[in-house]
């Protein structure tokens, strides 16, 4: 049914991945927490959540066979969303785990938050859109969202939103059908649910196309 599109939430057995699944269900998706490549291939969209250390998460993705699946899913043209460490895993690497390659879905390296700020950033902060995106449509103004991280992507042309934490910190990026948030939309109240709702609308539109 396209009114509740199938969204595969990648289950690589690390962290609380079910909270993202439950939030996606709440905003209208048929969200399945899964490691089944066939189900993931059939899904209308794929979500890569994540908590913890970059290196351990990459190890878990490889152990469960989901690293290649994630790369293929992002390249398929279906909507793809990374969340928190899931966003960081999409890059080529991270200063947190030198020598550990990331998925390479997005270009660049994830860097330690700037000197002079408390690490991790573990707080609500205001999302500051920097480029128009349907994912950010209808969010409250100001949009308060919840962060837990010590590392962040480098700013660049893919950035669609930042937050202020010792200077601008990349909070969300987007390239074609691929998007990612450094904050946890599933823990960010009305603003987070609005963003996930926009993502599900994007999925519906891609199924109908």
Opening angle at CA 84, ends 198 and 145, nearest 5 = 60
Confirm whether 68 is a catalytic residue.
Answer: no
Minimal CA–CA distance to 45: which of 21, 12, 68, 26?
A: 21
Q: What is the DSSP letter of 113?
A: P
In three-state secondary structure terms, 18 is: helix
Opening angle at CA 207, ends 202 and 209, nearest 5 = 90
Confirm whether 186 is a catalytic residue.
Answer: yes
The active-site residue out of 62, 95, 184, 201 is: 184
The active-site residue out of 84, 96, 149, 174 is: 84
List Cβ neighbours of 97 (8 Å cut-off, separation of 6 or more): 53, 54, 55, 58
Active site members: 84, 184, 186
């Amino acid at each position: 049914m396209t009114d509740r599109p199938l969204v595969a939430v990648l289950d690589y057995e690390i962290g609380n991945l079910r909270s993202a699944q439950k939030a996606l269900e709440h905003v209208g998706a048929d969200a399945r927490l899964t490691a089944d490549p066939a189900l993931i291939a059939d899904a209308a969209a794929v979500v890569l959540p994540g908590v913890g250390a970059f290196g351990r998460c990459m190890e878990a993705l490889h152990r469960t066979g989901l690293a290649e699946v994630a790369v293929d899913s992002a390249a398929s043209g279906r909507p793809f969303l990374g969340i928190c460490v899931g966003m960081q895993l999409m890059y080529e690497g991270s200063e947190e785990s030198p020598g550990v390659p990331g998925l390479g879905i997005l270009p660049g390296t994830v860097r330690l938050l700037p000197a002079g700020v408390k690490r991790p950033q573990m707080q609500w902060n205001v999302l500051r859109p920097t480029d128009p995106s349907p994912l950010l449509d209808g969010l409250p103004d100001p949009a308060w969202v919840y962060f837990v991280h010590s590392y962040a992507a480098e700013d660049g042309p893919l950035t669609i939103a930042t937050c202020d934490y010792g200077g601008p910190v990349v909070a969300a990026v987007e390239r074609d059908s691929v998007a990612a948030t450094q904050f946890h939309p599933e823990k960010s109240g009305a603003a987070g649910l609005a963003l996930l709702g926009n993502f599900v609308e994007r999925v519906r539109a891609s199924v109908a196309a």
